[in-house]
Structure 1
Amino acid sequence: MTTLTAPHASSATTSRPGLWFAADAVITGVNALAYLAAAGPLADLLGGDPATYRGIGLFMVAYAVAVGLYARSSLSARVGWGIVVGNLVWVVASLEVALTNAFDLDGLGRAWIVAQAVVVVDLALLQARSLRRR
């Protein structure tokens, strides 16, 4: 008799520890390209200055590449924890921008920043879980 059992919810993080880092790299990269390619329309839609979107986009390209390289490597967990901390710093900074309106965003722009922070904190938590199970 054969018995089938459902995999544990943590099997994705255990068998593929780089999965959440790869997802982070892809999401960050897509966002970065949008910031670079559509800085003007984004500024019109969300408020702020197109130059700010371009600057953030350039930073995000570099971050996406670094996280993507980590996701495909066998680097130590310490590097992974550095990425988790970087993501958490991004979340705190994003919430500060939304609360203080540091970039002169309109309401939709501040809502976008908060939504983006929610995605990043979720990724950071999933990354941390995968690192703990490594």
Structure 2
Amino acid sequence: MTAITTRPLSDSSDSLLRFAMRADATLCAGAGLFVAMAADPLSRLSGLTATSEWIAGAALVLYGAALYVLAAMPSVRGVGIGVVAANLVFAVAAVAVVVSDVLPLTGAGVAMVVATVAVGLGFAYCQYLGVRRLA
């Protein structure tokens, strides 16, 4: 017979942070796969090239995989702070790109970027709450 030597997930103080990081990783990787597979139709919709759509999708898959691995680290507080900061930096950079009109985005492309920023900020908020719970 084996014994369980770890605390149940519900008793751990880092469960919210780990859950938010894993949910962020899963959604990023899934969205990245979708964007990479549908790069050509999405490029016509967003105004970007199919290559840039594919690169963005691949980057999302890599980020999701890395984030999922980082969520399993024994001490997750520092990683959580870094992920919150990265999500905030991404949101600011994406809004700056849309506002400055650097990319030839269509109306649908702008809507996709804004939706991505909103989801990223939602995950950043959940991760922030998880980091605060650890303090």
Query: Partner residue of 2:47?
Result: 47
Shift of 1:102: 2.2
- Name stretches of at least 5 consecutive residues in structure 1 with no aligned partner: 1-10
% identical equivalent positions: 30
Deviations 1:54-77 (A, max 9, x none): 111222111101111122232341
Contact 1:98 1:111 in 2 (8 A): no
Shift of 1:15: 6.0
Three-state SS of the structure 2 residue aligned to 1:60 is: helix
Separation in 1, partners of 2:50, 2:91: 21
Aligned amino acid, residue 54 of structure 2: R
Shift of 1:19: 0.5
Shift of 1:80: 1.5
Number of aligned positions between the proteins: 124
Q: Quick one: structure 1 residues 125 and 72, their matched pair in 2 at CA, closer, same or farther if it must change by over 3 Å? A: same
Query: Partner residue of 2:21?
Result: 21
Separation in 2, partners of 1:62, 1:79: 17
Shift of 1:34: 1.3
Separation in 1, partners of 2:112, 2:92: 14
Contact 2:39 2:51 in 1 (8 A): yes
So what's the TM-score if we normalise by structure 2?
A: 0.83
Shift of 1:101: 2.7
- Name stretches of at least 5 consecutive residues in structure 2 with no aligned partner: 1-9
Shift of 1:30: 1.0
Q: CA RMSD in A?
A: 1.9
Query: Partner residue of 1:113?
Result: 113
The structure 1 segments of at least 4 consecutive aligned residues displaced by more than 6 Å after TM superposition are: none
Separation in 1, partners of 2:95, 2:29: 21
So what's the TM-score if we normalise by structure 1?
A: 0.84
